[in-house]
Structure 1
Amino acid sequence: MSRALRAAGRALWEVGDPEETRLLLGHDAVPAGHAVVERYLAVPNVTHPRYLLPLAGGGRAAARTLDDFNGLRPPAVRWQRSLLASALRARLVGAGSTRSVRVSRSGAAPGPSLLGAVAAALDVAPGDLMLAAGMRAGGGHAKQTVLVTDRSGAARAFVKVGVGTDLVGRLRAEHAALTRLQASDTAVRFVAPLFLVPWEGRLLLGVAPMPVTVARVGRRDWPAAHAALDRVVARLGPRRRSWAGSRWQRDLLARAGRVEGVLGESIREAAARFADRVGDHGGDLGFRHGDWSPWNVARTPDGQWWSWDLEYAQLSAPLGLDRANWAFTVAHGQRHRSVGRALTSARRLLARHVARPDLVVAGYALEMAVRHAEFDPGLTAADGALADRLVAHLLGPGVYRADYRADYRAAYRAAYRAAYRAAYRDRR
C-alpha cells in the first residue's frame, strides 16, 4: 500500500486495527465478518494514487468532483482532470484490479465513520454524502483535506482532519479567524466556517465551498491580489507599536525555544540574534493571512476575490509577512530558486511597502525555519531540508558549518529536491 493511501486510511477511516477496519485494494478478499461500506477509485492506480474518487454516485458524480473548482489548477493539471472526468462519464475508466479501493468494517464492532461525523454536523443522512480526496506526492504533514459532496457530486463542504496537538490548535485558530472575518465587510471573501467538531481524537474543521467558477490568479493579477489584501488589513485596523512587545514576536521566540531535533540549538541561536537585531524597532502590525500565496487565492469572473487556508492567520503581526511569503514560495517552490535568492526576491518586493524589509524577511525566514523544523525535526524529508537551508542563511555559512558537519546535509540533498518538487508540482 502506498504511503499516501496509508495516511488517508488512518486519517479518514481510523484504519489501524485490522479486526475493525481495513482498506481492500484491487481484488483483496473481504475478511470474514466484514462488510464493504465505502468504495473508491484510485487514479491512476493504487500504487501511485493521485485522486481518490467516490463510486457511490456513479461515474458522472465522480467526474463532477474533478470538474468543479478545476479553474484553480494550472493548465496541465486542469487538462488532466478534464480528460479523466470525460473518461469517467463515458465509462472508459472503471474500478479494476489496479484502481479499486474499498473500506470494510467489522459487523460486530463497526468502526468510526468520518462521513457519519460530517453528516451529523451538516444535519443530513450519512448515505447522502460522499468523500473525494487528492493524494499529494511528497507531502508529510498529518493533515488530510477532503471534499464532501452529495450523491450527485456537488460540493457540500471541504473538511480538514487535524491530528496532534499542534495541528488541532491551528485548526481552532483558523476557525476563529474565519469566524472573525465573516463579520467584516472586506475586499477578499474568505470561506465560511461550517463546523468544528471532535472525532476519534481528531478535530474536523468544515468550511463552505466557494463558487465553482473561481479561477487561479495569473502573474498579471498578483499586484491586484496584494492590493485587495491591503484593503482587508486597512478594514481590520493596523496599528503601530514595538515588535519587541508584540504577541507575534513573543510567540515566535517561544516556539523557537521549543524546537527539538538536529536544528534545535541553531534555531535558538538564530532567534536570539533576531531579537537583538529587532531591539525596540516599531512597525505597523495588522491582520496576516499566514499562507498568502498564488494557490490560496482566486477570483471569480465578476472580480470577487476569494481566499482560504488560514491555519496561520493572526490578527496582529508585522505587515509585509504575507508579501514575503508570496515572493518566497513563488521563487523557491515554483521556480526552484535557492533559498538565498528567494529571500532576496522577498526583500525586493517589500522594499516598496515597508520601512525595514530586511527585518521583515529575517522574521519571516526564522518563522519558516521554526515551522518546518517542527514538521520534520529529524531532517528526513523536504520540510527538514528547507528548515536546514533557512537556518544556514540566518546564521551565515561560517557559523553554521562550524556547528554541523556538511556531509549529513549532502546525504539527503537529492531526496530533498525530489520531494519538494513533487509537493509543488501541481502548483506550477
Structure 2
Amino acid sequence: MKTAPTELRAGDEQLRAQYVAEVLSLLYPGRGERAVEYLVIPNARRPRLLVPADDRRVAAAAVRRYAEPQSRLARLKRDAVVAALRTGLSGLLLRDRLTLSPGADTIDAYLGRTVGAGLRLSVHIGPARANRKPVLQLLDAAGQTVAFAKLGTSALTRELVRAEGNALAAVGSAGLRAVRVPGVLHAGQWGEHEVLVQSALPVWQPRAPLSAPRLAGAMLEVARCCGTGHGTLAGSGYWNRLRARLDAVAGHPEGAALRGAAERIAGAAGGVELSFGSWHGDWSPWNMAGLAGAVLVWDWERFTPGVPLGFDALHHALQIGIGRSPSAGQAVSELVATAPDVLLPFGVVHRQAIEVTTLLYLIDLATRYVTDRQAEAGARLGVLGSWLLPVLVARVEAL
C-alpha cells in the first residue's frame, strides 16, 4: 500500500502502541506469579508483532511465517529480524520487551484446552480500524505454524468472527478447486470473547505468477460457490438488503448521501439486468497468495452471497489503485474508467450494467465504512468525503 502522509503515520504509530497494552491486558488478565515475556517487533514505538522472548527458534519462525511482505525492502527488513533472532543478536537489535504476570485464565490456557497443549503464540498488531481484533499465530515447539486464531472483543468484531466461521464452513464445503481456504479447527467463546481458530495456509511457500485470467477464474469460482441468479436490480434481494443497510445509517451525513445516491441509481437503472453471486468481500493483494497449484485466500469475514457479479474484481482493482495512485480519490476515478475491462471476465458487458455494478460496489463499500464507524476508529480512509463520495456522487448524478 502507498504510505500515508507523515501526520497520519505518526498517529497510527501512537494508536498501535496504545493497542499493544489493550491487547495484552485482554489476553493475559489478572495477576499471578508466572511471567510471560514478549519481544516487540520491530520496537515499542512502531509495534507490528509480538513474539515469545524465551525461544529464539519459535520467535524467528513467528516473524518468518506470519505473512509475506509486499515489497523487496520490507522482505529485507523481515529477513534481518529473522537472522537476528536465529543468531542471538536480537538482544542487541531488538531491545523492547513486555513482561506480564497473568492469572490462570489466559488465552494460552484456553487454546491449550481447545486446540492443543504446548502451542506458543505471536500477536499481530494491526493499524487502527473499527474491525481491528487480536490475531494470533499458533506455533509448535519446532517453530511450525499450526493455526491462526482471531478474537472478537467488541460487538462488531464478535459478529465478524462468527461470520468468518460461517463463511469458511460454506466455502470449505463447496468443492473449490482453484481456491484454497483455511479450515475451521475451533469456534467457541472465551469469556465474553468470540474465538475462531483456523488452519494455517502455507503462505511461506514459493509464489507462482498469478495472471489476470487465473485471478479472475479464482474469483469466479468463489462467485459461483453458493449458486448464481439473474434479474433486475429493483427486483433483487440484494437491493432490498442494501436499502435496509442504508436506512440504518441514514442519520449519518455520509449515510444520507449514500442513500440518496442509491435511490437515484434505482430510479434511473432499476430495470437493468444483473447477475448475482457470492463475493469474498475483501479480496485484496494482502489477503491472498498465488502458488503453483492454488490461490490461497484468507480473511473471509466479509463473505456475502447474492451480490452483483464482479464485486471482488472491483475491490481488488481499487486496493491496487489506492496503493499506486497519488490519491485515493484518483484511484476511485481510475476504477470507474477501467471497470469495463475489470468486469469483462464476469460477463458484465453492457454499458449500463457495468456502470450500475461499479457504482453499487462503491456504495456497498462506503456503507460498510459508515456502519462500522471507521472514521471514528481512526481508519486512514475512514472519512469518505475526502476520497470516495465526491467521485461517486458525480458519477451517479450523470446517470
Q: TM-score range by the shorter chain?
A: 0.7 to 0.9
Within the alignment, does 1:251 sit opposite 2:213 as a pair? Answer: no
Q: 1:222 aligns with which of 212, 223, 227?
A: 212
Q: C-alpha separation between the residues in 2 aligned to 1:288 and 1:202?
A: 27
Match of 1:414 in 2: none
Q: Map 1:3-18 onto structure 2 (within 5 A).
A: 3-14=15-26
Could you tell me which runs of 5 or more consecutive residues in structure 2 were left unpaired when the two chains were aligned. 1-12
- CA change 1:386–1:69 in 2 (3 A) is same
Deviations 1:234-284 (A, max 9, x none): 454322123334333222222222225442332332232233234133211
Q: Map 1:327-406 onto structure 2 (within 5 A).
A: 327-337=317-327, 338-352=330-344, 353-354=347-348, 355=350, 356-373=353-370, 374-378=372-376, 381-386=379-384, 388-396=386-394
Q: Map 1:9-408 onto structure 2 (within 5 A).
A: 9-14=21-26, 20=30, 34-56=32-54, 58-68=55-65, 71=68, 73-94=70-91, 98-105=95-102, 110=103, 112-122=105-115, 124-125=116-117, 128-139=118-129, 141-186=131-176, 187-215=178-206, 221-234=211-224, 236-259=226-249, 260-300=251-291, 302-337=292-327, 338-352=330-344, 353-354=347-348, 355=350, 356-373=353-370, 374-378=372-376, 381-386=379-384, 388-396=386-394
- CA change 1:317–1:381 in 2 (3 A) is closer
SS in 2 for 1:101: strand
Query: Kindly, what percent of the aligned residue pairs are identical?
Result: 25
Could you tell me which runs of 5 or more consecutive residues in structure 1 were left unpaired when the two chains were aligned. 22-33, 400-428
User: How many residues of Structure 1 are paired with residues of Structure 2 in the alignment?
Assistant: 375
Give the root-mean-square deviation of aligned CA atoms: 2.9
Q: C-alpha separation between the residues in 1 aligned to 2:396 and 2:275?
A: 34
Q: C-alpha separation between the residues in 1 aligned to 2:38 and 2:136?
A: 13
TM-score (normalised: structure 1): 0.78
Shift of 1:180: 1.5
Shift of 1:232: 3.9
SS in 2 for 1:365: helix
Letter matched to residue 384 of structure 1: G
Answer yes or no: is the 8 Å Cα contact 1:71–1:216 preserved in 2. no
Shift of 1:46: 1.3
Q: C-alpha separation between the residues in 2 aligned to 1:216 and 1:189?
A: 14
Task: Using the TM superposition, name which of 368-377 and 303-312 deviates more.
Answer: 368-377
Answer yes or no: is the 8 Å Cα contact 1:368–1:387 preserved in 2. no
Shift of 1:346: 4.9
SS in 2 for 1:159: strand
Match of 1:409 in 2: none
- CA change 1:140–1:45 in 2 (3 A) is farther
- CA change 1:267–1:348 in 2 (3 A) is same
- CA change 1:228–1:11 in 2 (3 A) is same
Deviations 1:327-346 (A, max 9, x none): 11100134444244243255
TM-score (normalised: structure 2): 0.83
Letter matched to residue 291 of structure 1: D
SS in 1 for 2:85: helix
Letter matched to residue 47 of structure 1: R
- CA change 1:261–1:231 in 2 (3 A) is closer
- CA change 1:115–1:342 in 2 (3 A) is farther
